Amino acid sequence: METFTVFGYGSLIFKPPPHVITQTPGFLKGYVRRFAQKSHDHRGTPENPGRVVTLIHKEEWDLFSGSDPFPNDDTVWGIAYTIDPVYVAEVRDYLDYREKDGYTMETLDVYAIENGQEKVAIHNAFCYVGRNDNPSFIGSEPLDLLSTTIWKSVGPSGPNKEYLYRLADAVRGLSNDSYDSHLYALEKRVKELDGNNDNKG
């Protein structure tokens, strides 16, 4: 029967797909995870889109990311989910709908660290990537502007900042080695906006 493994690097980490039989924390090499994708349907609206993460090939990101303060990041931690073969078609339909706002599917290798050494844990896992030619891709934004957009945006799936906070917590819990400089910096700034607003209230 058909096997299907999908790598989650955004909301799939804290809201996994159905019918998972195994899950493997790991990371990608040569990519960045950035809040570079507009969200019109989950964490924002068509009139006021929020921001959600996408994967970008590091060499592509370097071409138009002048405002990115973390130019050396090229590791993305997440979870590879292997789906019960009986339900592959159902889960692929579910994911295609969930990731419909500008994402396309690619295959890539997922790495893990064993005994201090990097090794390929899964070959050719599927992953939804927001390429820079899709209409929802917004590219690199200054952290202050990006954090303000995330802080104030709300969509059918809830506040944009909730997405950010849950993702940051989930990435921290993946491994003693997991990290994401961009994600944690955004989390800090949005929490500062929360605190400032509470003080005004």
Catalytic residue numbers, as ranges: 99
- In sequence order, what are the beta bridge partners of 49? none
Query: Among 144, 152, 139, 154, which residue's Cα sits nearest to residue 189?
Result: 144
**Tokens at 196, concatenated:** 């400032």
Q: Which long-range contacts (CB under 8 A, 24 or more apart) does 182-185 make?
A: 182/32, 182/33, 182/34, 182/35, 182/68, 182/69, 182/70, 182/73, 183/33, 183/53, 185/69, 185/70, 185/143
Name the helix (H) or strand (E) containing 119. Answer: strand 117-129
Q: Are 181 and 139 in contact (CB under 8 A)?
A: no
CA 170 to chain CA centroid, nearest Å: 11
